[in-house]
Amino acid sequence: MKVVVGKPSTRTPRFAANCNQVILYPYWNVPASIAGKELLPKIKRNQGYIDELNMQLLDKDGNIVNHHRVNWEKYSSNYFPFRLRQSIGCDNSLGVIKFNLTSPFSVYLHDTNFKGAFLSDRRYFSHGCIRIEKPIELANYLLNNKIDSTFLSSCLKNQVPVPINLDKLVPVFVTYQTAVANDKGGITFYKDVYGLLK
């Protein structure tokens, strides 16, 4: 299936790992680098930005903090003692399915709320994670057709995340290839977007 991977500035790493869990209706715990460098400046200009993104502000103990009562000028990308978490649902950046990987890079496979990206020939839009075109099909493959697609397409707002451990670990290999054999017996060449072959 088609995937969306990291921008040249935030490359998807090459690695081998295992998929150990499928999470339905996942939270998106925003990485500290994205929270501090990208979101914090926007939040300082408009505190309602957190509400627009359907996010929550959590303290170091995981308690939800009222972001309208925070003195945002005290914080910077070098000092941001909070965590941002996007609430579950179809507008979540991870979509409604996350495939957890035992990767040291905090990279995983997931659904997306931006399906239009799969229509592009150049699908390099993410911060490094791998968005997949057919997450329900992959989840059913890994879980022996136990996924209720109606449950997922309902876009429930108050649903809590549903983690499902796989019966056995599934190996995942993320490679970078600019030449691939095609079904016509030839070779399809792709642009070296990350510049790794120079």
9: domain range? 3-26+89-189
Domain identity same for 115 and 33: no
Same domain, 150 and 64: no
Nearest one of 91, 92, 84, 86 to 35, comparing CA atoms: 84
Residues 66 and 79 reside in one and the same domain: yes
Any idea what the CATH number is for the domain that residue 113 is in?
2.40.440
pLDDT, residue 146, reads: 87
Kindly give the parts of the chain with pLDDT less than 70: none
| Whether 64 and 114 share a structural domain | no
Residue 9 within any structural domain of the chain = yes
Residues of the chain with pLDDT > 70, as a percent, come to 100
Residues 168 and 104 placed together within one structural domain of the fold: yes
40 and 133, same structural domain?
Answer: no
Instruction: Examine the fold and report which residue of 17, 51, 86 is the final residue of a domain before the chain moves on.
Output: 86
Q: What is the pLDDT of residue 94?
A: 94
Residue 57, sorted as left (phi over 0), alpha (psi -120 to 50) or beta, turns out to be beta
How many distinct structural domains can be found in the chain?
A: 2
pLDDT at position 157: 75
Does residue 156 share a domain with residue 115? Answer: yes
